[in-house]
Copies of this chain bind each other. A is one copy, B any other.
Amino acid sequence: MATIKDIANRLGISLGTVSKGLNGASDISEELRQAVLDTAVEMGYMTKKMKQEGHKKLCIFIENMDYLEPEQFGYDIILGFKQAAYRDNWHVTVLPITPAFQMKEKYDTYMLKNGYSGGFLVGFALQDEWMSQLENTSVPTALFDNCIKRNPNVSYIGTDSFEGIEFVIEHLISLGHRRIAFLNGSLHSMITEHRQQAFYDSMQAHGLPVEDYFVANGYYVIESAKFSLPTFLEHGATAVVCGSDVIAYGVIEECKQRGLRVPEDISVVGFDDLPPSAKTEPPLTTVRQDRIELGKCGYMALRGLINHVSISKTLLRPHFVERNSTSKRIEEQ
């Protein structure tokens, strides 16, 4: 576990300043105090108060998602949640789980047994056992990228996929693209469904028909491109919109292996703006989700539920990030 010294080294400040930051002393700036707290959370430092037995506890359950490294999608979501929860002296456990675990343990029972006051569920699929249990849970629960109707104990947090995909389609159309393909992530996910619907809606709004061979569902992994790209190319796609950055990395790689240049021969767009996307070759045009803020909003919504304020939905705006993986469609002669 990190010590005060680790925090001081990371921030390049004295031990005394770290201590002031952790203890809320008033003779350092608010910005510095926040930086100390945020770094303490990121490095896993625990205050004496948090180590005490019987401390109030929250649990983040994570499934189908990488989160241990800063460049992975889940990292900042968990970090943002923990940073916000830390300020209110919550102890947060992060628990990766599986469908099998959900079949074995009832959600409410698990929470009660382990003394958790609330849960933040990240990366769950629609058919997961706990998702159906959430319809009637009495445990305050914030859900990332999933929505439960009617239950006042459950809150949905996410990014507005519709606005994000609209930005992408408008961008590609303004560059002259018409034959636009969409390689989306896994079926049985609310967010996959939203992005797919958004793709159809946006294309329709611009009077462009969508042929079946231009829409494919793989998984949110780099290998998805292999199976779908050949069909897109066969039908003359000039741009590929991807359901995530990771899928886009695969598409760029697959294009290169086939001797196609990105963006000269084909434009590629991602979704998420993971840290590596600024450094791909070429740098990826994508839609940014502010994952730190999504985590913080997850905590805020959960705190609301714990205090009997039922926020049904919190949506963050996506930000369109134009880099070099998209360019003007050069008309064939």
**Is A150 engaged at the interface, CB distance under 8 Å to the other chain?**
yes
- Bound complex: CA of A152 vs CA of B290, how far in Å? 13
Chain A 126-154: CB-based contact to B (< 8 A → 1; otherwise 0):
00000000000000000000000110100
Which residues in window 144-195 of A have CB below 8 A to B?
149-150, 152, 160, 163, 166
- Bound complex: CA of A312 vs CA of B160, how far in Å? 8
> Which residue of the partner chain, among B163, B313, B317, contacts A314 with CB atoms under 8 Å?
B313
**Is A315 engaged at the interface, CB distance under 8 Å to the other chain?**
yes
17 contacts between A and B (CB under 8 A): A149-B163, A150-B163, A150-B317, A152-B317, A160-B312, A163-B312, A290-B309, A293-B309, A296-B309, A309-B316, A310-B316, A310-B319, A311-B314, A311-B317, A312-B317, A313-B315, A314-B314
A316 contacts which chain B residues (CB < 8 A)?
309-312
**Is A50 engaged at the interface, CB distance under 8 Å to the other chain?**
no
> Which residue of the partner chain, among B152, B160, B311, contacts A315 with CB atoms under 8 Å?
B311
Chain A 254-298: CB-based contact to B (< 8 A → 1; otherwise 0):
000000000000000000000000000000000000100100110
- Bound complex: CA of A241 vs CA of B152, how far in Å? 23
- Bound complex: CA of A161 vs CA of B80, how far in Å? 30
**Is A300 engaged at the interface, CB distance under 8 Å to the other chain?**
yes
The 6 A-B pairs of least Cβ separation, nearest first, read: A310-B317, A313-B315, A312-B317, A312-B315, A160-B312, A293-B309
- Bound complex: CA of A309 vs CA of B317, how far in Å? 9
Closest B residue to A300 by CB, please name it. B300
CB distance from A127 to the nearest CB of B (A): 23
Closest B residue to A150 by CB, please name it. B163
- Bound complex: CA of A297 vs CA of B151, how far in Å? 19
- Bound complex: CA of A63 vs CA of B300, how far in Å? 30
Q: Are B311 and A313 in contact, with the CB atoms below 8 A? A: no
Q: Are B160 and A319 in contact, with the CB atoms below 8 A? A: no
- Bound complex: CA of A92 vs CA of B297, how far in Å? 24
Q: A293-B309, A311-B317 are known contacts; what are 14 more A-B pairs with Cβ within 8 Å?
A: A149-B163, A152-B317, A152-B319, A290-B310, A293-B304, A297-B311, A310-B316, A310-B317, A310-B319, A312-B317, A313-B313, A313-B314, A313-B315, A314-B314
Chain A 299-313: CB-based contact to B (< 8 A → 1; otherwise 0):
010001000011111
CB distance from A317 to the nearest CB of B (A): 4
CB distance from A96 to the nearest CB of B (A): 28
Q: Which of A300, A304, A312, A313 has the most CB of B within 10 A?
A: A312
Q: Are B152 and A313 in contact, with the CB atoms below 8 A? A: no
CB distance from A240 to the nearest CB of B (A): 24
- Bound complex: CA of A300 vs CA of B299, how far in Å? 13
A314 contacts which chain B residues (CB < 8 A)?
311, 313-315
- Bound complex: CA of A222 vs CA of B58, how far in Å? 47
Closest B residue to A151 by CB, please name it. B317
Q: Which of A150, A304, A310, A317 has the most CB of B within 10 A?
A: A317
